[in-house]
């Protein structure tokens, strides 16, 4: 019998290496920045449109005016009919184009929906690097649509 060195790795050595990799991952994973992906950006636009549609439907159903608060400072959209709040992450650019007045009164930072379904309109733009979506509320009909850079999603 020849005296030669063992070749390969033992199971114990493999387990130790995997344990070290797992510990490094557990320590370093929280420091990896979580960035908003293109699909997540689209999901934020869909959530914003859903919140606006719910407020419009509540205005029609209850026969009252409903105002959705759009606050670029706190990066949030707050339902006027429910307590629902959508918060936009810091890595997403959050821009709004809202009317200064609505129905002969100051609109402040709101998109208003009337009992007949109409609205004073407004636009919420969410962008991140090369991806961008606009949630548009038609000023006459109150219709809500999501428009990407190239195509519309209804």
- The yes-or-no verdict on residue 108 having pLDDT over 90 is no
Check residue 80 and give its pLDDT.
93
Task: Give me 146's structure tokens.
Answer: 């999501």
d(CA 140, CA 107): 16
Q: Compute the average pLDDT of residues 48-64.
A: 96
Distance between CA 67 and CA 47 in Å, rounded?
17
pTM score, whole prediction? 0.74
Domains of the chain: 38-153 (3.55.40.10)
Residue pair 126/119 in contact (Cβ under 8 Å)? The answer is no
Residue 151's pLDDT band, with cuts at 50, 70 and 90, is: very low
pLDDT at 47 over 90: yes
């Amino acid at each position: 019998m020849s005296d030669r060195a063992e070749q390969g790795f033992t199971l114990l050595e493999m387990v130790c290496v995997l344990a070290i990799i797992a510990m490094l991952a557990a320590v370093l994973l929280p420091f990896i920045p979580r960035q908003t992906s293109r699909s997540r950006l689209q999901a934020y636009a869909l959530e914003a449109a859903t919140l606006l549609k719910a407020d419009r439907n509540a205005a029609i159903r209850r026969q009252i005016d409903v105002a959705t608060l759009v606050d670029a400072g706190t990066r949030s959209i707050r339902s006027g009919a429910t307590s629902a709040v959508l918060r936009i992450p810091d890595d997403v650019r959050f821009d709004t184009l809202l009317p200064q007045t609505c129905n002969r009164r100051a609109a402040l930072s709101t998109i208003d929906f009337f009992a007949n379904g109409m609205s004073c309109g407004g636009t919420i733009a969410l962008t991140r690097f090369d991806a961008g979506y606009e949630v548009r509320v038609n000023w006459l009909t109150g219709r809500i649509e999501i428009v990407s850079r190239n195509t519309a999603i209804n």
